[in-house]
Amino acid sequence: MLQSAEVLVLKKIPFRESSLVVSGISPDDGRIDFVMKGAQTVGAKKFPVIDIFRQVRIDFHPVSDGMPSVYSAESITAFDAIGSHAGNYMLACELGKFALDNSSPQLPCPELCGAMVFVLGALGGSGDAIPTAGQCRLLVRLAYLNENGLLPEALNADAGKNEMQQRLMAVLLEAAQGDMPLPPLTEDYWQQLEEWSGQLCRFHGLKMP
């Protein structure tokens, strides 16, 4: 039976003469690896749909072993503008590697996908303000940690401080999905949050770029 999936493409490898081995993450299906035949073929009336940092909808027949072959792909959103800025492109590659390395097949990851889409859009210049590299790392990490139940419930023994920290965490998680602007924190505090999120990821054994 033919199945469909929405995929954020984060990696592609040339395969044989004109095909690609593609890896990405899907809100409903987690990590997806597939073969796209003829994806490297370019002509006057044929343009590549599959490329890194693009959201696509694919149709495929599931297989019990190995990677499925995709029969059709339709573009949803392209973040191609990221390629015009070397620093943003390298950061996007780093975040994409984190997302791929720590995602599993058939384990839905809508929060991680939402954070990646928001960050890629911002790095491509589609938002009002571009988050810093540290903010981008923080938002993607928090989305992953929250989705997998790895964020600590109590961050501070003091009840008042803990309530404020929990409120801040809720705001950051909403900001990671593009649902509200980033809070006006100091540069030092942003750095502390980024370092804390990295320590938490390493504590839980996540693969870090």
Please count the structural domains in the chain. Answer: 2
Q: Which residue from 96, 124, 123 is spatially nearest to 25, judged by alpha carbons?
A: 96
SS3 13: strand
Residue 58 falls inside a structural domain: yes
User: Do residues 51 and 64 touch, judged by C-beta distance below 8 A?
Assistant: no
Is the pTM higher than 0.85? The answer reads yes
Distance of CA 165 to the CA centre of its chain: 25
* pLDDT at residue 92, rounded to an integer: 97
136 and 197 fall within a common domain? yes
What six digits make up the tokens of 176?
């990671």
What six digits make up the tokens of 191?
């750095």
What is the chain's pLDDT, residue by residue, as a tens digit (209 residues)?
A: 788 999 999 999 988 777 789 999 999 999 999 988 765 555 444 556 888 999 999 998 888 777 888 888 899 999 999 999 999 999 999 999 999 999 999 999 999 999 999 999 999 986 567 799 999 999 999 999 999 999 987 554 454 567 888 899 999 999 999 999 999 999 999 999 999 999 999 999 999 98
182 and 96 fall within a common domain? yes
Per the structure, the complete domain to which residue 107 belongs is given by 82-203
Q: What one-letter code names the amino acid at 1?
A: M
44 and 125 fall within a common domain? no
100 and 165 fall within a common domain? yes
